[in-house]
Amino acid sequence: MSLEKLKLSKRLHASMNELGYFNAKEFQVKTLSRIIGGHSIIGIAPEGAGKTTSYVLGVLMRLKYTHDEAPKVLILAPNEERITAIVDQFIQISKNKDLYIMGLKASGSIEEEIEALVRGVDIVVATPNRARAVYLKLGLNLNRIQTFIIDDAEEIIKQGMQTPVRELAQSCGKVQYLAFSTVEHQKLHVMIDDFMSLATTIEVEDLGNTAMETHDLMLYQVPNFTTKINLLNLLMRDEEVFDKVLVFVNSKQTAHKLSQSLYAKKGEVQVLNPLFYDEEGITDVNIFKQMPNCRILIVAHEGASAVDITGIPFIFNFEVPENKDLFVQYSIKTTDEDVIAITFATDIELPELRKIEQTIGKKIATMPLPEDLVIFRPSTGPKEKVKIDESRGGSFHKKKESNSKTYNYGGGQKAKMTMKKKKG
């Protein structure tokens, strides 16, 4: 789409052209007019969709250049690297010498930063923790903030900085709120709903032009590690269907823990190259294939070489791999064999999963959780069976009608369907 679609000022349009931007991205077209109009939005889009450029342009279009002691824009970012990148992008695009922008860095002197803030600044970029620390020392005046921006919200959540985000937002009063993330999930809404309940959500998917040929991929979104164990145990009850299963985890420690947590008959579960010498385990996946009484092999990516998955009908990614290439490696279809690859992911793992979807060029189908799954709730103490909360966003929100399913793959139903097709 042409850059003309964004209806930028002549100065900003010329600046974008000088930087090599001649086309507008879909996310920018959908969000920029709302940002300029002062609307609060939740922007959901993958890396490279133009989220940062959207709010940089929006802020520059709205900003009135007056030398005030108090900042007009506060941008929260997860780390110093992002802070530097955001400041640099504002300077490159603005080319306005009257723009006063400052990044607060955790490694700097807080007294020097307060002195600089008192001299006057238009835009402040900081981590939530640093911004809160400066605010509590009365060095960051939030009384004149017009726009409050959360950049890389998923990373801020991953680092556990939700509380300072909420405290700073509630100290700003009535302002424009902008939150940007690669995924929308329950933890995001827990962080922002108190002050962004009326915000408009704008979501854009960019999966590339070429889809890889993969095995049948499925996703279960679960709230935590313990519920993953419960779900795997529930599915593994169907011994007839799940007769040979590879379960990938990230570390040998997790492999050990999982092997101790599965309810299985003696000898049914093995660990490939186990962490402890006295643990049930084997050293070669081909041995597992020849063991009639063993149906579950747990494989840790940590320190492991490539595993030959031929002849194994089910692969479980119990954790989203830290290296997306590992996921792709075991997902690409290289033979005519029917393989089903099932992934368990928590909210924190979803951003990495979205990167994988970009790489393979397709969405992974999200399966409804089995009705008899025990969902672990840490706040309630012991495990209890509860109904899935579909009231608001996240892993458990009601699916859009276009994405809704009339079937349930829980307990191996999909696998049974596949098996029947083979026999037919």
pTM: 0.78
pLDDT tens digits along 196-244: 989 999 999 876 667 899 999 999 999 999 999 999 999 999 999 999 9
Whether 417 is in a domain gets the answer yes
pLDDT tens digits along 56-66: 999 999 987 66
pLDDT score recorded for residue 344: 97
User: 402 pLDDT exceeds 80?
Assistant: no
Q: Do both 321 and 416 map to the same domain?
A: yes
Whether 31 is in a domain gets the answer yes
Q: Do both 235 and 197 map to the same domain?
A: no
Closest by CA position to 74, among listed 113, 127, 35, 10: 127
User: 31 pLDDT exceeds 90?
Assistant: yes
Q: Do both 79 and 147 map to the same domain?
A: yes
pLDDT tens digits along 285-341: 999 999 999 999 999 999 878 899 999 999 999 999 988 999 999 999 988 889 999
Average pLDDT, the chain: 86
- Distance in angstroms (rounded) separating the CA atoms of residues 218 and 220: 7
* CA neighbours closer than 13 Å in the CB half-sphere of residue 148: 24
Tell me which residue range forms the domain holding 371: 216-423
pLDDT score recorded for residue 67: 67
Average pLDDT over residues 96-105: 86
pLDDT tens digits along 4-18: 888 888 889 899 998
Contact, 372 vs 385, CB < 8 A?
yes
Q: Do both 183 and 267 map to the same domain?
A: no
Q: Which two tokens stand for residue 7?
A: 């209806």
- How much of the chain exceeds pLDDT 90, in percent? 62
pLDDT tens digits along 168-183: 999 998 899 999 999 9
Instruction: Kindly write down the DSSP assignment for every residue of 302-367, as one continuous string.
Output: TT------TT--EEEESS--SSHHHHHHTTB--SS---EEEEEE-GGGHHHHHHHHHHHTSPPEEP
Q: Which residue has the tokens 């643990």?
A: 279
Q: Do both 224 and 328 map to the same domain?
A: yes
Contact, 226 vs 422, CB < 8 A?
no
Q: Do both 349 and 400 map to the same domain?
A: yes
Whether 230 is in a domain gets the answer yes
Whether 208 is in a domain gets the answer no
For the chain, the domain total comes to: 2
Q: What is the CATH number of the domain that holds 326?
A: 3.40.50.300
pLDDT score recorded for residue 147: 96
406 band by pLDDT with thresholds 50, 70 and 90? very low
